[in-house]
Amino acid sequence: MLDRQEKTLARLERVSIAGGLLPSVTLLRDLMKFLNETRTKEGRKIQLILEQMLEIEAMTRPIEGIIGAMSLKRTDPGRFETESKILAKTYLLNRELAKFRFIPRAEVAVGGSGGASEWVAWWRGESRRWEKHLRMIPSEALELILKLTQIGYLTRLRRCARCHKWLYARFRHQAFCSTKCQQKQYTDTEEFKAKRRVYMRRYYHKHFRARAR
């Protein structure tokens, strides 16, 4: 049977101090707008961090098991070399992340009525520089990106294969930000151009060659 200390520790394991990002149905849309339209140095750092994270994700995805086992140097030199590169890139990523600061905040939400009061605690991004055309600040964008890593959705953030704007992929294989970009990409393929040439020849023979006779 668990003693009081063990029960307390078990409860602490379930505690998750929230960030400063308020829940909203527009969060992902706001993030995409931020990534595509931010004009500040701090905003561009967020773009760089995301690109670094996606690069590391692509490198680690094929690997099975824990990253960073030193014993691999002898048993699997190829994997050891790959993981060494991953760790080097992770170091650079964390150096960029260290430039952002989050300040702890706390306040009483409900009085205790003679017992323990109910507190709320969260971390708020230090940056409060708003860009007038955006609803999200850099620290909020970073917080949301980090939260997406925790649910395995980081790779849902990707660039459109046509216009290279950032998009949030609702479907796993989504590659374009819009139907317009998807159609433009297809019309530039050799397959489409070949079909177009065949169609135009048939159209010419049907409508113009017959008249010439």
Q: How confident is the chain (213 residues) per 10-residue block, as mean pLDDT? A: 69 75 89 96 96 96 81 78 93 95 92 90 80 93 93 94 93 90 75 56 61 55
- CA gap 77, 69 in Å, rounded: 11
Q: Return d(Cα 182, Cα 176) in angstroms, integer.
A: 6
Phi, psi of 58 (to 5 degrees): -65, -35
Residue 60 CA from chain centroid, whole number = 16
The first and second tokens of residue 90, run together, are 């992770």
Rounded Cα distance, 172 and 175, in Å: 9
